[in-house]
Chain A
Amino acid sequence: MPRTLAASIAVNRFGLGARPDEPEAATTDPKAWLAQQLTRTSSFTLPSGGLPTTRSAAEALGSYLEDLKTKTDGKAGKMSPEAQEEAILKPLKQLREILIAEIEARTLRGLTTEAGFAERLVLFWSNHFTVSANKAVTIPFAGVFEREVIRAGMTGTFADLLVASTRHPGMLLYLDQAQSMGPNSKAGERRDKGLNENLAREILELQTLGAQGGYTQADVTEFAKALTGWSLAGGRTKLLVPGADPGDFIFVDRFHEPGTRTVMGKRYSADGEGQGEAILRDLANHPSTAQRVATKLARHFISDAPPVSAVEALARSFRTSGGRLPALHETLISLDDAWNPEAQKFKSPNEFFLSALRFTGLPKVERKAITAAYGLLGQAPWQAPSPEGWPDDAASWAGPDAVIKRIEWAQGLADRLGTKVRPESLARAALGPALSVATAQSIDRAESASQGLTLALMSPEFQRR
């Protein structure tokens, strides 16, 4: 139980919320407790027992597409609803099983981890580099992208993370890069196919410089040309390079637009795959990127409108450390604004869900209950509506209907737990000194344990962090 306000902030604001069996380490030295999570790879890695690798995900996608082709034979539009169900929806459902297993694994990790700050950072960066499973081809890759790119990259630099993200099949397929061809490339000339600028644009706009970061349409097109040839082996493109397994990153020279490219005023000579990577690394280290990342991080952990000084401190840390993520994250711990006694942030549905489960101390949750909850609360993992990822402000999450949905879900959870819990002691164990007198009284006067638990989970202080 967090015995001091600082300890309560450490577990609730930086972490995923306290469990009743939370170790005392956070109370002894909250800042040290947070800092020690940042450099240990074990804080971030999620053992992949039973979950797919990038290769097996690519194989699953390959057989799904093969199956779809055989069963629909290009006539999907003319099939009866029953035949469509059999030919299209059933295979899709099988593919979604992979996603559901990933969702379950990530939820259980969130429920039980003792390194809550590390897990929150994974969620933050996974959202920054959104790969949404709202396209059939990305369904099997969304989870493995997070495990193999985001989690694995948390102790390195932003530039390495950006390059790894851009090379992963999840991202290559999500933002339509895999089949993009230079108009003057060998394949482009012959096949009357060409450039797709989606990935290049979203990297510039969302992952690095930001929309106001100083690039133009010409930069987007030039960068898109430099990235042509970045693709994956196997699957839909049937690009089998000798020695490459399905899902491996490959550079397809005959897709690549020949010549020198100019991006943000800098010339990049023809260098095959190296051309795109050189641009990515320069973008990663651009001051606009430092500013954008700092702003997002401050908005996530401090407030919807974070103080300029906090953003500046983070941006400086990003620049001076060469984008080293542990240094950036440690700067966040050092900011006074991050320890404001008043909780400023309204929890996202996912943060609310995980912290509520931790609050109850449950060791495990059923798969069905997990997917139902995410659907009801409106933030299913890896299903953000767009490449921008999930929003990160109260206005987006605290709409009237969203609040009602939280109450409905909290009440459902409380009803299932019935009389097995003592809500007031749980609230004290989770929030420590942050529990208000009004909430404690309201819980105390509840007509049942179940109502008391609903009130605790929906209290203003539990809805914020």
Chain B
Amino acid sequence: MTLPLMTRRAALMAGGALFLAGSAGALTLSRQAGDRKFVLVILRGALDGLAAVAPFGDAHYRAARGKLALAPPGEAGGVLPLAEGFGLHPDLAFLHQQWTGGQLAIVPACASPYRERSHFDAQDVLETGAAEVFGASDGWLGRALTALPPELKREAVAISGSLPLVLRGSASATSWAPSFAPSPSEDTLSRLMDLYAGDSLLGPALASAIETNAIASASGMDGMDGKGRRNGPGAYKGLAEAAARLLSAEGGPAAAVLSFDGWDTHANQGAANGQLALRLAGLDAAMRALRDGLGAHWSKTVVAVVTEFGRTVAENGTGGTDHGTGSAAFLLGGAVSGGKFGGDWPGLAPKALFEGRDLAPATDIRSVFMAVLQDHWGLDRDTLSRTVFPDGTGVRPITGLIRT
């Protein structure tokens, strides 16, 4: 998707780096036979995409970002070079290594169809996959799992106490979080199952939890006593480790959803160091832990790291940034055809900014999700643009991002 105002910086993004939304690839379900895993990481609170993926080569970058601008590669606190004048934040060393190794693709300026600036409504749209707020009551990943052929693995787990909206709508989705108390006795659980026989809320919830706990204990996670941090950047790694263990367990689920919070950097955001840098370092450590924990499964895994919207290009009055529009998304994993960008780059020229203040959304984030669901899981275009993304007929998957 390209907005009319944008300068298509095809020259800047040349060399095979620019992948426009293209035609559907041939789809075969056999691709899925190898137990292909998908991990969705939602950065809640709105990631400043320009801080994570800095367009230091953009002529307007330094002026537009002011004190938030990062130094060029090689200088103190400088970015880690990608290509075509982009660099990763210095605290994203693991991601940079994945880029160099061809296992990280970046969509530098994307957003959901939502164009206002409420976190809550934006997360609703990001997770339902609809074109507008409250456009659906369940989530696109939940519907995608339901649409998979029954002979394939359709289970998913959220590493959280409750099921996030994106997974609702699937009967095989469950949630799991490290425990801080002794487990209930099996006898008590079975008596409660009897008591919940006619309860459409508690019955399925408990049945699903019992099943997940069985997987967790079979993979040695009983000992997770919750000594790690429970929120903030220190918690990201523990959540990623838990996801890796569940996914790689015998009979483990096909998908996991992680939520990392704390990205709403309205004040004292920092640049090479500071609050946002700490969160990015936490994200980087979590992605490394995911790779390490998945072991042999990594080669057939796609991880998507996304956020609900971006932040203002300019610094606000308190050393932070306010709610914006376009932000960056990442695809990484052994099944990613990486070392390249997806989608357009609108540029930071004042007239290219959305409403004069935000990075313009050059790519519809649904085209990233569609790419994964089509090329990684083999879902067909019709299912994707009608069932999984109910208003998705005008959106096309970005091609070439997944190894098929």
Asked if B387 is at the interface (CB within 8 A of a chain A CB), the reply is: no
Contact A398:B162 (CB < 8 A) given known A180-B317, A451-B191: yes
Give the interface size bracket for B toward A.
Answer: 35 or more
**Which chain B residue shows the least CB distance to A402?**
B161
Number of A-B contacts (CB under 8 A): 160
CB pair B209–A176 under 8 Å, yes or no, is no
Task: Please measure, in the bound complex, the distance between the C-alpha atom of A98 and the C-alpha atom of B160, giving whole angstroms.
Answer: 28
A409 shortest CB reach to chain B, Å: 6
CB pair A403–B273 under 8 Å, yes or no, is no
Asked if B249 is at the interface (CB within 8 A of a chain A CB), the reply is: no
Q: Which residues 166-181 of B have a CB within 8 angstroms of A?
A: 168, 174-177, 179-181
Contact A388:B120 (CB < 8 A) given known A401-B161, A451-B188, A458-B192: yes
CB pair A196–B161 under 8 Å, yes or no, is no
Asked if B24 is at the interface (CB within 8 A of a chain A CB), the reply is: no
Produce 1/0 per residue, B195-211, CB < 8 A to A. 11001011001101100
B22 shortest CB reach to chain A, Å: 34
CB pair A77–B162 under 8 Å, yes or no, is no
Contact A196:B317 (CB < 8 A) given known A399-B205, A407-B188: yes
Q: From B45, B117, B158, B182, give the contact of A408 (CB < 8 A).
A: B182
CB pair A198–B192 under 8 Å, yes or no, is no
Asked if B267 is at the interface (CB within 8 A of a chain A CB), the reply is: yes
* Stretch of B100-108, B318-326, B364-372, B393-401 with 4 or more beta carbons under 8 angstroms from chain A: B318-326
The secondary-structure label for the interface of chain A is helix
CB pair A408–B181 under 8 Å, yes or no, is yes
Q: Which residues of B contact A (CB under 8 A)?
A: 44-45, 116-121, 133, 158, 160-163, 168, 174-177, 179-185, 187-189, 191-192, 194-196, 199, 201-202, 205-206, 208-209, 212-213, 230-231, 261, 264, 266-267, 273, 316-318, 320, 322-323, 355
Asked if A418 is at the interface (CB within 8 A of a chain B CB), the reply is: no
A228 shortest CB reach to chain B, Å: 9
CB pair A197–B316 under 8 Å, yes or no, is yes
CB pair A400–B118 under 8 Å, yes or no, is no
CB pair B119–A401 under 8 Å, yes or no, is no
* Stretch of A49-57, A105-113, A350-358, A371-379 with 4 or more beta carbons under 8 angstroms from chain B: A371-379
CB pair B318–A180 under 8 Å, yes or no, is yes
Q: Which residues 174-188 of A have a CB within 8 angstroms of B?
A: 175-176, 179-181, 183, 188
Q: Which residues of A contact B185 (CB under 8 A)?
A: 411, 451
Some 5 contacts from A to B, beta carbons below 8 A apart, are: A196-B266, A378-B162, A404-B209, A407-B184, A459-B195
Contact A386:B320 (CB < 8 A) given known A411-B188, A455-B192: no
The secondary-structure label for the interface of chain B is loop
Q: Which residues of A contact B206 (CB under 8 A)?
A: 400, 403-404, 407
Q: Which residues of A contact B192 (CB under 8 A)?
A: 407, 455, 458
* Stretch of A24-32, A59-67, A268-276, A439-447 with 4 or more beta carbons under 8 angstroms from chain B: A439-447
Q: Which residues of A contact B (CB under 8 A)?
A: 77, 134, 175-176, 179-181, 183, 188, 193-198, 201, 205, 211-212, 217, 220, 346, 372, 375-376, 378, 385-386, 388, 394-405, 407-409, 411-412, 438-439, 442, 446-447, 451, 454-455, 458-460, 463
CB pair B202–A403 under 8 Å, yes or no, is yes
**Which chain A residue shows the least CB distance to B121?**
A211
CB pair A401–B317 under 8 Å, yes or no, is no
CB pair A395–B162 under 8 Å, yes or no, is yes
**Which chain B residue shows the least CB distance to A446?**
B191
CB pair A455–B195 under 8 Å, yes or no, is yes
Task: Please measure, in the bound complex, the distance between the C-alpha atom of A396 and the C-alpha atom of B259, giving whole angstroms.
Answer: 14
CB pair B317–A372 under 8 Å, yes or no, is no
CB pair B181–A376 under 8 Å, yes or no, is yes
CB pair B188–A403 under 8 Å, yes or no, is no
Most buried by A among B45, B161, B174, B189: B161
Most buried by B among A181, A397, A412, A458: A458
Q: Which residues of A contact B199 (CB under 8 A)?
A: 460
**Which chain B residue shows the least CB distance to A220?**
B117
Contact A442:B191 (CB < 8 A) given known A205-B118, A408-B179, A408-B181: yes
Task: Please measure, in the bound complex, the distance between the C-alpha atom of A77 and the C-alpha atom of B273, giving whole angstroms.
Answer: 8
Q: Which residues of B contact A372 (CB under 8 A)?
A: 180
Task: Please measure, in the bound complex, the distance between the C-alpha atom of A372 and the C-alpha atom of B45, giving whole angstroms.
Answer: 27
CB pair A400–B175 under 8 Å, yes or no, is yes
Q: Which residues of A contact B45 (CB under 8 A)?
A: 386
CB pair A401–B162 under 8 Å, yes or no, is yes
